[in-house]
A = this chain, B = another copy of it.
Amino acid sequence: MATAKKDLFTKKENRIAELAKAMGHPARVAILLYLIKKNSCVCGDIVGELPLSQSTVSQHLKELKRVGILQGEIEGTKTCYCIDPKVWKEMEVLFGGLIQKYKSDCC
């Protein structure tokens, strides 16, 4: 079988890239900031906060959910999204670790 693209890099490299990419769109950053600010899992009125259509926002939420950053819980007709503390911690470790690893003494 052909080599999967993922196999060209380490698990860690792939995971960092996957999480970074999920944060690599201003709408998704805005969603995260909104969820953090609200300090609780707010429902789909996220749509009302963003200058994008409902279906587009739904896609962004889906992507954040896919990589694990968000959890979505259905409550009646509404869906309640919130940050997954476990994955958030993972990001802290991965990004923090990466950033701390570099001590400037270049060039």
Residues of B within 8 A of A71 (CB): 107
Copies in the complex: 2
Query: CB within 8 A of A27: which of B9, B26, B33?
Result: B9
Residues of B within 8 A of A41 (CB): 106-107
Minimum CB–CB distance from A8 to chain B (whole Å) comes to 5
- What interface size band does chain A fall in? 35 or more
Binding site for B on A (CB under 8 A): 6, 8-10, 13-14, 16-18, 20-30, 32-33, 36, 39-41, 51-52, 71, 73, 80, 82-83, 85, 88, 91-92, 95-96, 98-99, 101-107
Q: Given contact pairs A9-B30, A91-B99, enumerate 6 new A-B contacts (beta carbons under 8 Å).
A: A6-B26, A8-B51, A13-B30, A17-B23, A20-B21, A73-B107
